[in-house]
Amino acid sequence: MATLLTDASRRLERAAQYVPISDDATERLKFPKASLKVAIPVRMDDGSLRVFEGYRVRYDDTRGPTKGGIRFHPGVSLDEVQSLAFWMTFKCAAVNLPFGGAKGGITLNPKALSRLELERLSRGYINAIAPFIGPDLDVPAPDMYTNPMIMGWMMDQYSIINGRRSPAVITGKPVSMGGSRGRDTATGRGAFFVIQAMMAQLGKSPEAMTVAVQGFGNAGSVVARQLFEAGYKVVAVSDSKGGVYNAGGLHIPDIQQFKQTHHAMKDVYCKDTVCNVASHDTLTNEDILALDVDILIPAALENQITAQNAASVQARYIFEVANGPVTADADEILDKKGVSVFPDILVNAGGVMVSHFEWVQNRSGLYWTLEKVDSELRSRITQEAAVIWQIANSKAVSFRTAAYIHALSRIGEALNDRGTRDYYLQ
C-alpha cells in the first residue's frame, strides 16, 4: 500500500514534466532532509508516568528556514508528518515565502489530558526537539488541536533552554507574547480570498453558489462565515460529531455561537438572546462529501476523498482547506468528472503567510495592525492565485498541477543555483 508521502510525491512527478529543472533537484525533493522521533515522558495528574511519541520533520530548506505546524492527534505518525512537511515545502514556494517545509506532531488524544498535563507535554516536546528548531533553522506553528497558548508555552520553554527570549522561534503565539494579529483566522481568511478570486475568474456570483463545509473547526468555521457574509448560500457544515443540512441555507454566525456554548451543532436562528432550532437534516462527515452543491470545502483531515468515494462527489468545485483531503487516485477520477480541485498548497496558505508576517514582526520588533495583516494577506494570496490560474489555462493542466508547477519552478531554480550534474560536467 502506498504511503502518504508516496501519494504526495506523485503530484511532484506530474509537475516536473512541465518544469525545466535538473534530475538532481527532483531526486533531492523525493526525500526529507531530516526526520526526528522522540519520546516525551509526562507526569500525569494522578502521579503516573506516561511516555508519548513525538515527531519533527524538516523536508527541504533550499529557500530558507523550514516552516510548519505541530499537531496533537491520535493519527499522528512519521509518514503523516513527512507528507505534511512535503506539502509545506511546496506551499511556501507556491506563495513565495522565504521558507522550506516542515511539520511536527505528537500521537495522542489531547481531549483526554488536563490543561496541566498538556502544558507538561508541550514543554517536554520542546525539551526533546530544541536542538532541531530555531528562528533561522525551523519555525513551528499551531496545527490540529494546538492553539496560541500551547505555542506560547513552547516559545517560553525554548527561551528558557537557550537563556534568552526567542519569540521568532514559533509563530501562532498569543498577541501578548509576540503573536501577530489576524493569525488565528488567517487560514480561513486566505481560503475565502482564494475562493472569491477564482469565482470572479469563472464569472460566478456569490448569491448563485451553494456551499458545503466538512470540518467546522478553526479554519472551516472562519471560511464558512466569510462566505455566508459575502452572500454565498452555505447549506451544510459538519464537525467530528456530524453535521447539519438546510437546502435553504444555514445561518452560520448562530451555528458558531451555538457550538461555542453547547459544544454541538444545530441549525439555529437567534433573535436577541432567544435561539430557535430551525428545520434541518443531520448528516455525517461522509454524507457531506456527496451533496449536490457548487462548492465543496473539505476542512477536516487528509484523505477524505479517495478512489472509493470520489465518484459520488457532485460538487463542481472543491477548495482544499484541509491538508491533503483529496488523494492522487481521487484526483484522476474527479478530473474525468470535470470537477475543478483547487489545491491545499494555495487555498490554505493563509496560515503560513501570516505566520511569515509574525516571524518578520518578531525579528524587526515592529508590529502590524490587523488591517495591515489582512491587506497584505489578500494582496499576496490573490496575486499567487492569479498566476496559478494562468498556468492552468495556458498549459491545460489541473489547478493542482499548476500550483505544483509554480512552486517547483521556484524550488528548482534555487536547487539548480547550488550546482547540478550538468554544471559540474561542463
Residue appearing with cell numbers 509518514: 79
Residues forming a β-bridge with 245: 236, 281
**Rounded Cα–Cα distance for residues 103 and 119 (Å):** 20
Burial group, residue 137, by CB count within 10 angstroms (0-12, 13-18, 19+): middle
With residue 24 as reference, give the H or E element that holds it: helix 23-28
Residues forming a β-bridge with 100: 66
For 340, list phi and psi in degrees, rounded to 5: -90, 125
Catalytic residue among 30, 33, 37, 103: 103
What's the grid cell of residue 126?
520542546
Instruction: Determine whether the annotation assigns residue 67 to a binding site.
Output: yes
What's the grid cell of residue 293?
452543491
For 307, list phi and psi in degrees, rounded to 5: -60, -25
**Rounded Cα–Cα distance for residues 180 and 362 (Å):** 9
Instruction: Determine whether the annotation assigns residue 273 to a binding site.
Output: no
Strand ranges (DSSP E) for 338-416? 340-342
Question: What is the DSSP secondary structure assignment for residue 134, as one 8-state letter?
Answer: B
What's the grid cell of residue 52?
508519548
Answer for the pair 249, 324: CB distance below 8 angstroms, yes or no. no
Answer for the pair 317, 254: CB distance below 8 angstroms, yes or no. no
What's the grid cell of residue 397?
493542466
**Rounded Cα–Cα distance for residues 254 and 55 (Å):** 38
Strand order in the sheet with 49-60: 34-43, 49-60, 100-107, 66-73, 138-142
Give DSSP secondary structure letters for 308-327.
TTGGG---SEEE--SSS-B-
CA 421 vs. chain centroid, Å, equals 35
Answer for the pair 196, 170: CB distance below 8 angstroms, yes or no. no
Helices (DSSP H) in 273-368: which residue ranges? 285-289, 328-337, 344-347, 350-364
Kindly give the pairing relationship between strand 34-43 and strand 49-60. antiparallel
Q: Has 103 been annotated as catalytic?
A: yes
Instruction: Determine whether the annotation assigns residue 355 to a binding site.
Output: yes
**Rounded Cα–Cα distance for residues 265 and 4 (Å):** 31
- List residues with catalytic annotation: 103
Binding-site residues from annotation for NAD(+) = 187, 218
Binding-site residues from annotation = 67, 91, 187, 218, 355
Binding-site residues from annotation for substrate = 67, 91, 355
